[in-house]
Amino acid sequence: MEPQTIKIRVRYSETDKMGVVHHSRYFSYFEVARIEYLRNLGVDYASLEKEGIYLAVLEAYCKYKAPAYFDDVLTVETCLTKLTAVQMELTYKVHREEEGQLLVEGSSTLACLDTHFRPHRIPEEVRKALGMEESEG
C-alpha cells in the first residue's frame, strides 16, 4: 500500500517550556494521520463506531530524531504495514516540510473490537479498502 501524507501546523499550545513540540503530541499527530489515511481510502471511522466496530490502540511507538517548533508545518506520512484478521499496524514518518528533515518515526498496532471490547474480525469492506491481503501474525 502506498503511503499517504497529511500536513499539520504546530500550535503554540503543543510546545513545552523549551519551545519544542512536547513528545506526547506526536501520538495525537499519528491519530490524525491514521483517521485521514482511512478516510482517504473510503473508510469512515465514525461510521464504523456507529456500527459497533472500534479500532483500539494496542501498542504505540515513537522514536524522536530532532525537535519540531511552534508554527512549523509538519508532514506526517502514514503507511499500512501489516493486516491480520483482527489487527492492523501502521507506520508514521514526521518531517519538517521546509527542509524535509525527518523528525520522528513511529508505529501503532490497532485491534478491531466489538461493543463489548472483544476481538472482532476487521470488516470485509475495510480490508478491501486497505488493499492488503491478510498476513500471519
Nearest by Cα to 71 from 122, 21, 35? 21
Q: How far is CA 120 from the centre of its chain?
A: 20
- Cite the active site residues: 16
CB 68 within 8 A of CB 10: yes
Around Cβ 109, how many Cβ atoms within 10 Å? 18
Q: CA-to-CA distance for 53 and 61, rounded, in angstroms?
A: 24
- Phi (first) and psi of residue 117, to 5 degrees: 60, 35
DSSP string, 96-124: ETTT--EEEEEEEEEEEE-TTS-B-PPPH
